[in-house]
A = this chain, B = another copy of it.
């Protein structure tokens, strides 16, 4: 059941082009890969031989002979990916195009520690695989998102604020012990950014904001995830202006997180006598036009926009995509946009799009799939 993809050299690039939907024929592949048409034919032949690609009828003519359409072979393999949250995990099985064919959400307490959680996760994967994947179809990679910083050099969790027991735990090694496969461990906001980036073709530089219970951000530079030393994108503790001084768990005052996160809004609503349990409840209140909630969300948007102003001037992205559960509240995006456009350099906002995220709830799973495929297809 466990085996690495038997690809070498240019084969990986070709497979990737087909998997990501960029190429559908040998001619497409030749154009996009830069290889000679003859070389493409040879490689494709090998990939079909290996059971990874399949020919499937013919495509539409573009004025000449019809192309013979190429697809990933359905039996080529699957990826198992997850997005771990504080109390829930989102699990998915993807085909080698990175398209999910099963997605489930299961309760899971990350605070129970890494040993317990990762064991549970692997069991859940095995469970899903047994239920939805024939034994003949091999598992090709395993990946998970983590709600905390991940050191890209070691794939260990570092200084997580809400994951007791996880600090410096070798997550990737733990999974590798159970699966002899490419393993991916990455911060959840980063995965979301990668997934979201695929919904913005043509844009090479993106900021993807995750506004939920907490605030996270992922950064795509030149089409690739920027990790820095593992902390990149963490804007939750940037100081913001505010009338009242609120101290954050990090020890500093007036971090963005204590003024604009879903948790902070829930607190403020509670102080106003409105109890909410989860961030989705806040969105519901806004959609019901409860003035306190709307006003609070607007304020959060302005605070976030203030922070983004500096970042947009500095990074000058093509797109700022706003995702996370709180982004379903329309005033959030609106007020972020207003603040950034008002205060940024015209040059920086000239071609800037600030918009709700497009990739939906599975963005992180899609991102995990994309990164896993990248890893598997360049080996």
Cβ of A315 and Cβ of B347 under 8 Å apart?
A: no
Q: A198-223, CB under 8 A of B: which get 1 and which 0?
A: 00000001000000000001010110
Determine the interface band of chain A, counting residues with CB < 8 A from chain B: 35 or more
Cβ of A310 and Cβ of B313 under 8 Å apart?
A: no
Choice from B224, B233, B241, B250 contacting A314 with Cβ under 8 Å:
B233
A50 at the interface (CB under 8 A from B): no
Choice from B230, B239, B309 contacting A316 with Cβ under 8 Å:
B230
A112 at the interface (CB under 8 A from B): no
A92 at the interface (CB under 8 A from B): no
Known: A205-B228, A229-B350. A239 touches B309 (CB 8 A): yes
Q: Which residues of A contact B (CB under 8 A)?
A: 149, 158-159, 205, 217, 219, 221-222, 224, 226-235, 237-239, 241, 250, 252, 306-307, 309-311, 313-318, 343, 345-348, 350-351
**Would you give 24 A-B contacts (Cβ < 8 Å), ordered by A?**
A149-B347, A221-B221, A222-B224, A228-B317, A228-B348, A229-B316, A229-B347, A229-B351, A230-B347, A231-B316, A231-B345, A231-B348, A232-B316, A233-B314, A234-B313, A234-B348, A235-B313, A237-B313, A237-B345, A238-B309, A239-B306, A239-B310, A310-B311, A314-B314
